[in-house]
């Protein structure tokens, strides 16, 4: 919902939190963005740690995709090119290697994205639970 509206298109922690506010708490776009900022302000440390984990995992996916592409291109071309006078293996092998690397990157990226989504959702629920407990401690019991 919010991604379509253009609110959550970058890697800042606030969009991750506003998406969860919209979905888990059933808020509208504006209320979800306000709630996301409130959660970010109230939980700066945990949110920064989660953002760091998120960025590291995304970096690992990019590194794996690039590494797989380089390894496949370097290994297939020379092996298939030995003993051949034409250059066709040198052209076809990198294309096949690139396709294999793209498929692997999509698969690994999908798993990492699912993990990141679950991580942010669980963190959001924990932040709400801790906020509810803190509010219960502050409010005196009625008699």
Mean pLDDT value of segment 95-104: 78
Mean pLDDT value of segment 120-139: 77
Instruction: Answer yes or no: is pLDDT of 123 > 80.
Output: yes
**pLDDT of res. 2:** 38
> Higher model confidence: residue 114 or residue 1?
114
**pLDDT of res. 7:** 38
Please, which pLDDT band fits residue 135 given cuts at 50, 70 and 90?
A: low
- The predicted-structure confidence for 65-83, as pLDDT tens digits, reads as follows 777 767 666 655 555 545 5
Give CA–CA dist 138/120, Å, rounded: 27
> Higher model confidence: residue 125 or residue 8?
125
In the chain, where are the structural domains located?
1-42, 53-135
Mean pLDDT value of segment 95-108: 80
What totals of helices (H) and strands (E) does the chain contain, helices first? Answer: 5, 0
Instruction: Answer yes or no: is pLDDT of 14 > 60.
Output: yes
Give CA–CA dist 56/116, Å, rounded: 11
**pLDDT of res. 6:** 35
Q: What is the CA radius of gyration of the chain?
A: 23
% of residues, the chain, pLDDT over 90? 6
**Residues 6 or more apart from 76 whose CB is under 8 A from it?**
93, 94, 96, 97
> Higher model confidence: residue 52 or residue 6?
52
């Amino acid at each position: 919902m919010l991604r379509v509206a253009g609110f959550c298109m970058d890697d800042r922690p606030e969009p991750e939190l506003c998406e969860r506010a919209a979905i888990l708490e059933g808020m509208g776009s504006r209320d979800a963005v306000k709630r996301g900022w409130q959660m970010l302000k109230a939980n700066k440390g945990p949110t920064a740690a989660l953002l760091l984990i998120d960025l590291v995992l995304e970096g690992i996916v990019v590194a794996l995709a690039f590494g797989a592409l380089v390894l496949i291109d370097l290994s297939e071309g020379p092996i298939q090119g030995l003993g051949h006078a034409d250059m066709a293996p040198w052209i076809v092998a990198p294309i096949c290697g690139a396709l294999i690397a793209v498929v692997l990157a999509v698969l690994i990226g999908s798993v990492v994205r699912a993990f990141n989504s679950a991580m942010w959702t669980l963190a959001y629920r924990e932040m709400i639970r801790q906020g509810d407990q803190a509010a219960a401690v502050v409010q005196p019991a009625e008699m």
